[in-house]
Structure 1
Amino acid sequence: MTGVDAATRVPSPVTVVGLDAAGATPHPALAPVLAAAGLVVGAARHLAAVPVPAGADTVTLGPLAPALHRLDEAVAAGVPAVVLASGDPGFFGIVRRLRAAGLPLRVVPAVSSVAAAFARAGLPWDGAAVVTAHGRDLRPALNACRALPLVAVLTAPGAGAAEVGAGLVGWSRRLLVAEHLGTDAERIREVTPEQAAAETWSDPHVLLSLAASALDRVAAGGMRSDNQPAAAPAGGWALPEDRYAHRDSMITKSEVRALVVARLRPRLGRLVWDVGAGSGSVGIECALLGAAVLAVEQDPQAGATIRANAATHAVTVRLVTGRAPQALAGLPEPDAVFVGGGGADVLAAVVTRQPERVVLTLAALDRVAPAVGLLRAAGYTVEGSQLSAARLADLPGGSIRLAATNPVVVLTGERP
């Protein structure tokens, strides 16, 4: 038997070729695979940038389903197929969707748009986080920029530099916007968030969000190729009170803080408000776990303490100095809120913003029932616990006693 049965034929892989975002010459592998291709798939700008064979069918990418159908037919028929993409197609690129469709693939990557943008800026990026706003809510990407010192954002129409800039007003950030990388229309600009929000930017573009300390923070390097927080901070959380500057015991005790932070569920991509922040310990530990944090505090002296504590723990916490609930007006929508100070009017203002989770601590029992009622009336399911810890304390002669701390009620409201 000299032929190969069609049922046992190994399908030819679809060749996915990245076109260099830095504008370099296409990979040498592109010419022969294009010359042999019977089907070429790509965005209009990619199809226009390469010599597509005269006899090859083309599919211009828009909705992906028709292209996947044509590629599946080509593989089944043994027709060589090529997909053109930007930069590294395996990095937030089309490879994921092609693999999910079950297509056999050969990938030929090029320089990604993120690598090209950092190269144009002359910046190292092994400490950068990379997030995408393609086809999804912008808030997680925006909160990553608020939380981390060095972030690259893969933008999309309606979720680009103008929208990110508007969301970063009030945060100390510089934005580098790289438009049309690798083309004659390439433009690189460094702007403030306010300037970015006021501009009209052409697509495609990549945005780099840079904190003032970005280069200092990544200079030390590390074993990971990003600066996103690990599952647990190196120093832990629920840290002892003496790890924070504070006055007059204006700090959430570590035992209480452990439960509060657990209930807030902070992580990268989420925004946490710390209202009545005091020393800032709760917000800082949320930031250590990757969340973007807004600390609201009416006392300027306490605000200075929050800034100092955030610097000590090397996290970004945006401070809003003012009295809640008035100071909450106009702040970005939170995912979770800790209310550590203020009356029923503060809680009432918080629930009108409908965060997913609201956590509050109460020392006075007569405040518990009204708070539970307010949360339930706003549509939250409520659970609560009273925490009463006793710490070991030395006595003369080597004996040990238990020193009780003040009991505190922790309430958690969660939107169904």
Structure 2
Amino acid sequence: MISVLGTPLPAGAAERIAAAKLVVGAARHLSTVDTTAETVVLGEVPAAVARLAAHDGPAVVLASGDPGFFGIVRALRAAGLDVDVLPAPSSVAVAFARLGLPWDDALVVSAHGRSLRPVVHACRAHRKVAVLTGPGTGPAEIGAALRDVPRRLVVAERLGTADERITETTPAEAVTARWHDPNVVLVLGPGPVAAAPGWVAGNPPGPAGWALPEAAFAHRDSMITKAEVRAVALARLGPRLGDLVWDIGAGSGAVAVECARFGAAVLAVERDPVACQGIRDNARAHGVELAVVGAAAPDCLAELPDPDAVFVGGGGLDVLRAGAARRPARLVVALAAVERVGPALAALDGAGYAAEAVQLQANRYTALPDGTHRLAATNPVHLVSGVLR
């Protein structure tokens, strides 16, 4: 049997360590236990799992916090090994406890051994995120990626040890500070530190509906993508948690807001200052986080972080090409003129996308004074979409 013990060591751990013939753990964990058993410093997880699988007799694995929470228990179980787990409080639970904050409404993400990109996008889109860090994905790297985002960072270092340290800082300050491993970073946005109680922990469920009616958004001069067109555009964009979406020529921000409702981080690019304020108002009304870039495309796009999906609601071929050049996985452009469809398809194909186009026109039932109905046609829109090959 393999006993997986969280640290600080919980009740019952001493008996398991005393009975073990093999103890595996990080050097800092091994230094805290007194054992005559063979000890192995935990390095690469696959090698440690193979060593444990080959061992005949009782063994102990020492791990930080709760080893069943983004920990080694998953790898051991995936290898078919039977384990007995004695957890300690997770680093996330302890970090929030040090601040006196509830955390059932927090999103917990791991950058340990993973790309920092989706982690940063989650921090852009959500106001309460705990990040499990790793080499090359620590507080400095997180701070550098969030310089332009209104966030404060709380870095909890070496929790539960004599040199534990809790530091509140800004993204910019985090870049140049010196940090000690292991640590967990809490990324907190403006607003209440404790949300209203809910029924599910972490990221709230997705929206109950999408392609909201135009009346759900403040807009002027018909600067809004119609609901029926938005429905197909959202299906092609596939916004999700961990993604960054550009909405170029955002107008009212309807597409941007709907993408944010799916949990994606969103940059709404719009050159009209009045429209920019309208986008912010619409985002606030729908309770979502997004950033507004008040500048003209394509010139402003070079300074933006790489997107996972791009919607072009306004602009010419130069904007489409500039978006495609950043290699998003999915790209959608809405066009009013049929003559622009062919060049848009060619531009996407030339940029390495499998492209297709569809013309959408909805006929809405409209009530007449006598109680009967007529069909009121909306203007046709051509959607050109591409998926990166």
Query: TM-score range with shorter-chain normalisation?
Result: over 0.9
Tell me if structure 2 keeps the 8 A contact 1:229–1:289: no
* CA displacement, residues 315-343 of structure 1 (integer Å, 9 cap, x when unaligned): 00111110001111211110000000011
**Cα distance in 2 for residues equivalent to 1:345 and 1:322:** 15
Query: Contact 2:158–2:182 at 8 Å: present in 1 too?
Result: yes
Tell me the CA shift for residue 186 of structure 1: 1.4
- Partner of 2:240: helix, strand, or coil? coil
Q: Name the SS of the counterpart of 1:383 in structure 2.
A: strand
1:316 alignment partner in structure 2: 289
118-127 or 39-48: bigger deviation: 118-127
Matched, 1:342 2:315: yes
Shift of 1:293: 0.5
**What is the CA–CA distance in structure 2 between the aligned matches of 1:308 and 1:329, rounded to whole Å?**
26
Q: Say if 1:149 and 1:214, in contact at 8 Å, map to a contact too.
A: no
Q: Which residue of 2 aligns with 1:57?
A: 38
Match of 2:19 among 36, 39, 44: 36
> Contact conserved, 2:66 with 2:88, CA < 8 A, in 1?
yes
CA distance in 2, matches of 1:58, 1:318: 51
SS of structure 2 residue aligned to 1:324: coil
Matched, 1:295 2:247: no
How far off its partner does 1:140 sit? 1.0
Aligned equivalents of 1:275, 1:290: Cα separation in 2: 19
Q: Which residue of 2 aligns with 1:395?
A: 368
Separation in structure 1 between the aligned mates of residue 363 and residue 159 of structure 2, nearest angstrom: 61
Opposite residue 66 of structure 1, the aligned amino acid is A
In the TM superposition, what are the counterparts of 1:112-191 in structure 2 within 5 Å?
Answer: 112-191=90-169
The answer to whether structure 1 residue 223 and structure 2 residue 204 are counterparts is no
Q: Which of 45, 48, 60 is the aligned partner of 1:67?
A: 48
- Equivalent residue for 2:174, pick from 196, 201, 217: 196
Separation (CA, whole Å) in 2 of partners of 1:104 and 1:158 = 33
The residue type paired with residue 17 of structure 1 is L
Q: What are the equivalent positions in structure 2 for 1:181-330 lying under 5 Å apart?
A: 181-215=159-193, 218-226=194-202, 228-230=203-205, 232-234=206-208, 236-330=209-303
Amino acid of the residue matched to residue 46 of structure 1? H
Task: Quote the residue 1:17 is aligned against.
Answer: 5
Shift of 1:255: 0.3
- Measured in 2, the distance between the counterparts of 1:413 and 1:149 equals 32
Residue 346 of structure 1 and its aligned partner are, at CA, apart by 0.8
TM-score (normalizing by structure 1): 0.92
Letter of the 1:36 counterpart: A
Q: CA shift at 1:214, angstroms?
A: 4.7
- Counterpart position of 2:10: 27
Distance (Å, rounded) in 2 between the aligned partners of 1:170 and 1:233: 27
1:171 offset after TM fit, Å?
A: 1.3
Identity percentage of aligned residues: 58
Instruction: Give the alignment partner of residue 103 of structure 1, picking from 63, 72, 81.
Output: 81
3-state SS in 2 of match to 1:49 = coil
Q: What are the superposed Cα offsets for residues 260-317 of structure 1, whole Å, 9 maximum, x if unpaired?
A: 0111000001110011101111011111011010111101100000000000000001
- Give, in whole Å, the separation in 2 of the partners of 1:281 and 1:199: 39
**Given that residues 233 and 332 in structure 2 are in contact (C-alpha distance below 8 angstroms), is that contact kept between their aligned partners in structure 1?**
yes
Say whether the 8 Å CA contact 2:341–2:357 is kept in structure 1. no
Contact 2:111 2:134 in 1 (8 A): yes
In 2, the alpha carbon distance for the partners of 1:342 and 1:67 equals 54
What is the CA RMSD across the aligned residues, in angstroms? 1.1
| Secondary structure of 1:219 counterpart | coil
Distance 1:135 1:358 in 2: 29
State the one-letter code of the partner of 1:62.
G
| 1:356 equivalent in structure 2 | 329
Aligned partner letter, 2:109 = V
Unpaired runs of 5+ residues, structure 2, are: none
1:239 partner SS: coil
Task: Name the SS of the counterpart of 2:366 in structure 1.
Answer: strand
Partner of 1:9: none
1:406 matches 2:379: yes
Amino acid at match of 2:315: G
Moved more, 140-149 or 194-203: 194-203
Counterpart pick for 1:375 among 328, 337, 348:
348
- Between 294-303 and 189-198, the greater mean CA deviation after superposition: 189-198
How far is the alpha carbon of 1:66 from its aligned partner? 3.1
Q: In structure 2, the residue corresponding to 1:406 is in which secondary structure?
A: coil
Instruction: Tell whether 2:358 aligns with 1:385.
Output: yes
How many Å separate the matches in 1 of 2:230 and 2:127? 25
Larger Rg, first or second structure (1 or 2): 1
Moved more, 195-204 or 107-116: 195-204
**SS of alignment partner, residue 124 of structure 2:** helix
Larger mean Cα displacement after TM superposition, 60-69 or 277-286:
60-69
Letter in 2 for 1:67: A
2: distance between equivalents of 1:138 and 1:106?
32
**Normalised TM-score (structure 2):** 0.98
Which residue identity lines up with residue 296 of structure 1 in the other structure? V
Q: Which amino acid aligns with 1:408?
A: V
AA at the equivalent of 1:223 = W
Number of corresponding residues: 389
1:65 & 1:405 partners in 2: Cα distance? 58
